[in-house]
Amino acid sequence: MYPSDLSAWNLGGPPSQGPGYPPNMTPGYPPAPGYPSGTPYDQQQPGYPAQPSHPGQFQPGGPTQPGYPGQTQPGYPAQLGYPGQPQPGHPGYAQSGYPGQPQQGHQQQSYQSQPAYSPMGGAIQGTPPVGTAPRPNPTLKPYPYFKPEEDCEKLRKAMKGLGTDEKAIIDVLAHRTADQRVQIVNKFKTMYGKDLIRELKSELTGHFEDVIVAMCYSLDELDARELRRAMEGAGTDEQTLIEILCSRSNAQILRIREIYSKIFKGRNLEKDIMSETHGHFKRILVSLVQGNRDESTHVDMQAVQADAQALYKAGEKQLGTDESCFNRILVSKSEAHVRAVINAYASVSKKDLEDALKSELSGDLLQAFLAVTILGTSRSLWCYPSEC
């Protein structure tokens, strides 16, 4: 068991030895003498008991012995894992030589400042390994002092009387995550018996109204409403269909379909898509709206090479284009697999896959396939992470 206080790591020393750990037997190796009292190490750290019976260990009134590189002690690794180790008196030093050690309540700032090394100890070079995707890093994090009652009071005050305090509305809704905003909407109706979205619509206009109202829906409900908006009335907003359906997970797609039918009574998302689109563009959207895409992370490199060859033969190598082949591979296969196919395509063609798509396809179908390939390499550019 490690002590709750890890201040001794700041001195460059190892953790205290618990029961059953062989004592360090280094005859003739006296503890460090000559340190005057009144130094930062003069007082024993709470929760980190001194071990006067073990020479060379942390003693009250004197620091540990970090200054002997290469000195191997029985039962403890050689002191070689401290690159750039500061001397005693450097507070805040995070132990970077033990990436596998659990250190409770101790931030490893020194480790994070070393971008040249991966968490496994190897140098980070080149692109991420096959089958990995960039981790979303949302700029909007949950508000730590969130109190929906107070936010509701601020919003009501902002809309009360003549005029509207738009800045107050922004200060609240633009600094809360999607989940927190939904809680505000629900709490507002509980507190005042009014629908917050209707109140906002009556007070705001233009694009500002559109943005603020959109922020009050859950992400899945917003997607469902945007899909309906994209298909109702004259014409179709194909770009909205592409952005939503090409970037959502299976679980998200299934939730969107359910909410779509619940909000818009008697309507079915798949049927609406089929009636509003046509050709191969309709086929790719129908494939996506099934919510049945492979989501495994395993990548079979033989299958990757075979699919890269198949895409080359279906496009560049022949007159005309076999769009069904592109649909089968890029839409139904997992993102990890598609990511690997994109990388492998360069080995079978002089073009990368994006340029090949641009030379073979056009219009909305091209935009849909480009969205799928962009998604395969940079999901954060297309999706709305749940933290936002």
Q: What is the pLDDT of residues 218-256, one digit of tens each?
A: 999 999 999 999 999 888 999 999 999 999 999 999 999
Long-range contacts of 64-73 (CB under 8 A, 24+ apart): 64/8, 64/11, 64/12, 64/13, 64/14, 64/32, 64/88, 65/13, 65/31, 65/32, 66/11, 66/12, 66/13, 73/24, 73/26
Domain that includes residue 173, residue range: 148-214
Query: What are the DSSP calls for 255-323, one per residue?
Result: HHHHHHHHHSTT--HHHHHHHH--HHHHHHHHHHHT----------HHHHHHHHHHHHHHTTTSSS--H
Residue 72, domain member (yes or no)? no
Residue 368, domain member (yes or no)? yes
Last residue of a domain, one of 198, 214, 230: 214
Residue 370, domain member (yes or no)? yes
Cα 291 to Cα 257: distance, rounded to the nearest angstrom: 9
Please, are residues 78 and 70 in contact by the beta-carbon 8 Å criterion? yes
Last residue of a domain, one of 190, 214, 238: 214
Residue 246, domain member (yes or no)? no
- How confident is the model over 99-123, as pLDDT tens digits? 444 444 444 444 443 443 333 333 3
Last residue of a domain, one of 192, 214, 236: 214
| CATH number of the domain encompassing residue 202 | 1.10.220.10
pLDDT along the chain (388 residues), means of 10: 39 42 47 45 44 44 44 44 43 42 43 39 40 64 95 97 94 96 98 97 97 97 97 93 94 98 95 96 97 94 96 90 94 94 93 93 95 76 43
Cα 345 to Cα 308: distance, rounded to the nearest angstrom: 5
Cα 193 to Cα 277: distance, rounded to the nearest angstrom: 41
Cα 353 to Cα 5: distance, rounded to the nearest angstrom: 54
Residue 101, domain member (yes or no)? no
**Token couple for 122:** 């190897």
Residue 14, domain member (yes or no)? yes
Residue 91, domain member (yes or no)? no
Number of domains in the chain: 3
Residue 292, domain member (yes or no)? no
Q: What is the DSSP letter of 80?
A: T
Please, are residues 386 and 255 in contact by the beta-carbon 8 Å criterion? no
Q: List, in order, residues 6 or more apart from 153 with CB less than 8 Å away.
A: none
Angle between helices 301-314 and 353-360 (to 10 degrees): 30
